[in-house]
Structures are given as C-alpha cells and as structure tokens.
Amino acid sequence: MEGPTALNTEQLHAWTSKAMTRARSGQLPDYIPRLSRASPHWFALQITGVDGQTHTLGDSCLQFPLMSIVKPFLLLYLLCQWGEESVFKRVGIEPSSEPYNSLSQLQHDQGWPRNPMINSGAITLASILSETDSTSGYQSLWNWLNYYGHCQLFLDERMLASVKSFPNPRNEAIARELATRGHLTEAVSALDTYNRLCCLSGTIVDLAHLGMLLLECPPPLQSSHCHTVKALMTTCGLYQASGRFAVQVGLPTKSGVSGAVLSVVPHLGVIACYSPPLNREGNSVAGLFMVEQIAKALDLSIFS
C-alpha cells in the first residue's frame, strides 16, 4: 500500500482550494476569545511518512493550541506511567453520542466519564496529574511529549489567559459533578491542569511529530498502549462524528477546537492539518475534508 506522502503536490493544492471553499461554511468557536479572533483563512498541512518523506502546504509557521488533540497524548502518557488497569479505573472506553462538553451525558452516567476524548474524561485524567503535583503536574507531560515526540510545544500563556478570561460554566459543572461523584478530588486544580494542557501549542510540524509517536511507539512506550489510544481515537476522537468518519474515512483521528486535526495511518504515516473554521460538532471543516480526500485517493482506511 502506498503511504500518504505518495500524492503529488498539484493534487494536494487542488484539494486545499476546495477545502478552503468548504471552510467558509464553518464557524469559529465563540467561547475562547483568542480562538474567535483566528483568521478563517489560516491553513497548514503536513503529511509525514514512515520513510521520512514529508509534504508541507500552507503556512507551517502558524502556531496554534492543541486543545483537545492533547487528550490522546494525556491518555498515552498516563498509560505509560500508571498502566491500563489504573487508568481505566478512572475513565471509560465507550463512545458518546453527545457533544464533547456534555454535562447531561455525564449526569446520565452517574458521573462516570465515558471516554478520555471528551472533556469529562480528559478533566478526570488531568486530575491524576494535578493530584500528583498540583503546580507542575502538567509540566511532566509537556516535557515528556517534547522529549519523545521530538517537538517543541510551548505553553501559550496568552491563550491560557483567554481561556480563563471567559467563564466556561460547562467545564466547571463537569469538574464539579466529577468531584461530587467521587471521580476526582480537586475540581479546581483538575480544571486548571486540563486548561494548561489544552494550551500547549506548536506548529503543524510539531503536530505531525506527535502523531508519529503513536505510529512508531519508541521504547519505553508500549505498542499495546499506542494501540489502545489509536482505537479510542477511531471510536471517540471526533465525538458524535466518530462513527460516521470511521465508515467514510477509516483512520484514527483527533480534532481540537482550535481547528487542528491529526490522523494516523497505521504503519505508513500521519496527516496533520490546521484550519480554524469548525463544523457543528466542533471539528475543522477543511481538516476533515483533506484527510478524507487523501484517505480515499490512496485507499488508506484501516478497514480496507
């Protein structure tokens, strides 16, 4: 099978211009002021193959926060540090048909977070870091990602200030519900750690490097942990759209509300895309379009 770098640049440019037309139908998130001021025209794409070949399109200097794309890496880190049994005592592995910040899903489940790719699950996992070290718990994950992922993520302090400047009653209520039900001990510090992790930022090249971590799984990472993370990206990574995307495209994929998308093509490479306008489910319109075109043209679905 040909890897995702087998495409020629003309083809990628043609899809990019279609993607940008489609992105006009998307919206910028309104609950994080700094994200709402992003340009809908910003675009970057990086495809990296296991053979070391790359394709970079658009503006590879743009820096953006990972937002929810940090969730699979938070999970991976904790699996490596704590093992499957301890982690999955705290969070489930079931998909949810509700939005990523749904409180009603959590209440319906008696406060049990369904999976690590939605806010309730990630806030619970962030609490493991903050329980260990409330001031610098997130720093160990940050350092770990930069070391093993060979990337240069930084904490975007202005983005963090923007996140904190605007009340997020959903996330606050989720954290309180988790604490009330005994799934975490300290709601405020768990949410603070979660927000910091969401504001780890980098370029499209950094994002592709992170993706390679799930593909190459360098020691001491265990391949079973990378496998678990990729499976959960497939079933839960795009929230309510995960099932549809699995059928139509078939690649483990995670999105973030900043407009970033990361897809892993097992054994072959990664596709990372950044374009801020989002669809109704909070996934980048152009990002998902690009992944779909590339996957279909090369028949990359894991189910093929």
Nearer to ligand GLN, 213 or 238 (CB): 238
Smallest distance from ligand GLN to CB 296, Å? 25
With CB under 6 A as the contact rule, the residue among 115, 119, 228, 275 that binds ligand GLN is 119
Smallest distance from ligand GLN to CB 168, Å? 6
Nearer to ligand GLN, 235 or 301 (CB): 235
Nearer to ligand GLN, 122 or 214 (CB): 122
Smallest distance from ligand GLN to CB 304, Å? 28
Binding-site string for ligand GLN from residue 164 to residue 193, where x marks contact by CB under 6 A and - marks none: -------x----------------------
With CB under 6 A as the contact rule, the residue among 100, 112, 148, 274 that binds ligand GLN is 100
Nearer to ligand GLN, 123 or 217 (CB): 123
Nearer to ligand GLN, 49 or 282 (CB): 282
Smallest distance from ligand GLN to CB 120, Å? 10
DSSP string, the chain: ---GGGS-HHHHHHHHHHHHHHHTT-B--SSSHHHHTS-TT--EEEEEETTS-EEEEE-TT--EE-GGGHHHHHHHHHHHHH-HHHHTTTS-----SS-TT-HHHHHHTTT----TTSHHHHHHHHHHHHHH-TTTHHHHHHHHHHHHHT---EE-HHHHHHHHHS--HHHHHHHHHHHHTTS-S-HHHHHHHHHHHHTEEE-HHHHHHHHHHHHH--TTS-HHHHHHHHHHHHHHTTGGGHHHHHHHT---EEE-TTSEEEEEETTTEEEEEE---B-TTS-BHHHHHHHHHHHHHHT--TT-
With CB under 6 A as the contact rule, the residue among 101, 201, 263, 293 that binds ligand GLN is 101
Q: Tally the C-alpha atoms within 13 A of residue 85's C-alpha that lie toward its C-beta.
A: 0
Smallest distance from ligand GLN to CB 11, Å? 29
Smallest distance from ligand GLN to CB 244, Å? 17
Q: Does the footprint of ligand GLN cover residue 279 (CB under 6 A)?
A: no
Please state, in angstroms and as integers, the Cα–Cα distance from residue 105 to each residue in 12, 31, 57, 75, following that order: 39, 20, 39, 20
With CB under 6 A as the contact rule, the residue among 257, 262, 272, 300 that binds ligand GLN is 257
CB atoms within 10 A of CB 21: 12
Q: Does the footprint of ligand GLN cover residue 67 (CB under 6 A)?
A: yes
Q: Does the footprint of ligand GLN cover residue 282 (CB under 6 A)?
A: yes
Tokens, residue 282? 């909070």
Smallest distance from ligand GLN to CB 172, Å? 11
138-167 positions binding ligand GLN, by CB under 6 A: none
Query: What residues line the site for ligand GLN (CB under 6 A)?
Result: 67-68, 100-101, 119, 171, 198, 256-257, 282
